[in-house]
Amino acid sequence: MRTMLLALDIGNTNVTLGLFRGSRLVRSWRVSTDARRTPDEHEAALRAVLGRAASTVRACAIASVVPAVEDAFAAAAALVVRRRPVLIDSESPFGFRIGYQPPSDVGADRLVNAAAAMERFGAPVIVVDFGTAVTLDVLDRHRVYLGGAIAPGLDLAAEALARRTAKLPRVALHRPAEAIGRTTLESLRSGLVFGAAALVDGLLERMFRELGERPPVVATGGTAGIVAPHCRYIRETIPDLTLEGIRLVGERMMSASRKRT
């Protein structure tokens, strides 16, 4: 088997792992984010997930929004890959300038999303990521990352409704049949899914006006498949966009490191 690269997207809810051969994603996995696990436990989990492929992985790139988990995974990955992983941050080579202030406040996942979207669609482009939070990220025609918007994600909103109300249950998320729910579960699904779609469309319309143009919009994230089909302006849904961005930026960082040495 050819040498492969492991991309790790460490989020607040899940850690997504992607195994790349060149630019092709061979396989991906998702595990729960757990800050209590030790590097040894993460190493055992990585070896179990990768199986025989572990011996072919010779590079690792990590984008994280959970520093405590990032440190433990980085230590574990170094043992599996036998090479120190590259850690993506606001100073990494994304191919665009960051206009957000301060740049270090932007999550690495948002920046790699923008890098991957620009690689596919050019600039300007907007990414909508339906994760724990729904984030919209805007890259203008001058290749400047401007920032965007952050709103609660569907799972977070559904959990909050169930916890903070006496009679509303936790609802499984899938496409509602109609906007007018005839039961409590149907009403919850309508409000959550169609409400999220309307929120995204409304934010996009405001962003289009501020930009003075209508860039292509790409969606990604765990619930993108549920919401994006109901959004007026989303052109395409790419489930593995974040992993693609981690691979792309990670390879640039490794190439720059080799040139320095």
Helical ranges in the chain per DSSP H: 39-50, 67-81, 108-121, 154-164, 184-189, 195-211, 224-227, 241-260
Set 109, 129, 137, 240: catalytic member: 109
Q: How far apart are CA 54 and CA 33, in angstroms?
A: 21
Of 69, 59, 146, give the one whose Cα is nearest residue 110. Answer: 146
Helix (H, G, I), strand (E, B) or coil at 90: coil
- For 155-161, the CB contacts below 8 A with 24+ separation are 155/13, 155/222, 155/223, 156/132, 157/192, 157/196, 158/188, 158/192, 161/188
DSSP state of 238: -
The overall longest dimension of the chain from CA atoms, in Å, is: 66
Q: Is the dihedral of CA 14, 19, 23, 24 positive or negative?
A: negative
105 is catalytic: no
- Residues marked active site are found at 109
